[in-house]
Amino acid sequence: MRKRKLATVICVSAFLLASCGSPEKKIYKTLEETVSIEKDFESQQKPMAELEEKETEIFNEMMKLGMKQMDKVTELSDKALNNLKKREEYLKKEEKAIAASKKEFEKVKETIPSLEDEPLKEKANQLEQLMAERYDAHVKLSKAYKATIKEDRKLYEMMKNKDLKLEELEQQIAASNKAREQVIEANKEFNEYTKKFNEEKSAFYKEADLKNAS
């Protein structure tokens, strides 16, 4: 999400004080605070991507070794399993940040009825609905990601079994790949909602004639 640095506004008259407390300004403040909170969410993206890339490298190395070098395969499997734990930790931080964002955003829903301009109120309602759908999309994404971790864990545990059959291995690899495809689709949906929300937020700022609107 785009970041904007809030300027400190000093109100020196009764008129300005009323203006700073307007529903439009309250919604603006809440939206910008939501953006600030989600910085914690964004900070998880790079390390998670790096862990995923590292895990792919570990898996590819295991496949090259084959089951004839069990000691090395077992060692690599343990590394991959440890990698999964780290991914889970980052996912928990991501979910926590999104939960905090959602809690802050609830203030928008509470403020919308106070808007007097009907077209602006309609835009605000559309913005609120869009963000609700975005949060739902993230729930779907988290579930898909957890499912992928679950299938990958099965795979790495399985590869430590010296009596593992090729057919069983292929089936589990297929299950892991299917779960990963669902993550890609869920992530695509979440990103689309994020893009739409940013566009609608900018449109709301412009319509409300708010400072720093773009």
Res. 96: pLDDT tops 80: yes
Q: Which amino acid is at 172?
A: Q
Res. 109: pLDDT tops 80: yes
Q: Which of 8-12, 28-32, 91-95, 171-175 has the lowest mean pLDDT?
A: 8-12
User: How much is the pTM?
Assistant: 0.84
Look-up of token digits 């991501």: 94
Residue 141 tokens, joined: 């994404």
pLDDT given for residue 67 in this prediction: 73
Res. 11: pLDDT tops 80: no
Res. 1: pLDDT tops 60: no
* C-alpha separations of 190 from 1, 18, 132, 183, 210 in Å: 12, 37, 11, 10, 27
Q: In whole angstroms, what is the distance from residue 42 CA to residue 51 CA?
A: 15
Q: In whole angstroms, what is the distance from residue 208 CA to residue 201 CA?
A: 10
pLDDT given for residue 141 in this prediction: 97
Q: In whole angstroms, what is the distance from residue 156 CA to residue 183 CA?
A: 19
Q: In whole angstroms, what is the distance from residue 159 CA to residue 182 CA?
A: 23
Q: In whole angstroms, what is the distance from residue 172 CA to residue 174 CA?
A: 5
Closest CA to 210 of 98, 123, 89, 86: 123
Mean pLDDT, rounded, for 16-34: 78
Residue 58 tokens, joined: 């570990």
Q: In whole angstroms, what is the distance from residue 8 CA to residue 149 CA?
A: 44
Report the 10 Å Cβ neighbour count for 190.
Answer: 21
pLDDT given for residue 5 in this prediction: 30
* Inter-residue contact 105 to 34 (CB < 8 Å): yes
pLDDT given for residue 40 in this prediction: 83
pLDDT given for residue 41 in this prediction: 85
Chain mean pLDDT for the chain: 87
pLDDT given for residue 120 in this prediction: 93
* Inter-residue contact 90 to 44 (CB < 8 Å): yes
Res. 62: pLDDT tops 60: yes
pLDDT tens digits along 119-146: 999 999 999 999 999 999 999 999 999 9
pLDDT given for residue 42 in this prediction: 86
Report the 10 Å Cβ neighbour count for 199.
Answer: 11
Classified as helix, coil or strand, 2 is coil
All domains in the chain, ordered by first residue: 14-208 (1.20.120.570)
**What are the residues whose beta carbons fall under 8 Å from the beta carbon of 113, sequence distance 6 or more?**
121
